[in-house]
Amino acid sequence: MTMKIGLVLLMLTLSLSSSGCGQSPLNYVASRRSNLFHRPDCVEAADIKPKNRIHYARREEAASDHRPCDICKP
């Protein structure tokens, strides 16, 4: 019985970690002055000035106006 509970907890943990739970709702960033979008932790995204930064919650939103960065591959 204890082994089954442990297995269920492990499966639940793996499921939550792969589903994106706990991620920031702002999953993508772009610059008003560029045609690229990035993951927030991309080295290129770090150079975007706050006044030019655009946040997107969904990849589809970002991709409608920008193309994916070749470095972070969002």
Q: What is the pLDDT of residues 38-58, one digit of tens each?
A: 999 999 999 999 999 999 999
Cβ-based neighbour number of residue 46 at 10 Å:
10
The tens-digit pLDDT sequence of the chain (74 residues) is 555 554 444 454 444 444 444 445 579 999 999 999 999 999 999 999 999 999 999 999 999 999 999 999 99
Compute the distance between CA of residue 15 and CA of residue 32 in angstroms, rounded to an integer: 35
Cut 0.75: pTM above it: no
Q: List CB contacts of 8: < 8 A, sequence separation 6 or more.
A: none
Pairing relationship of beta strands 28-31 and 53-56 according to DSSP bridges: antiparallel
**Domains identified in the chain and CATH numbers:** 25-74 (3.40.10.10)
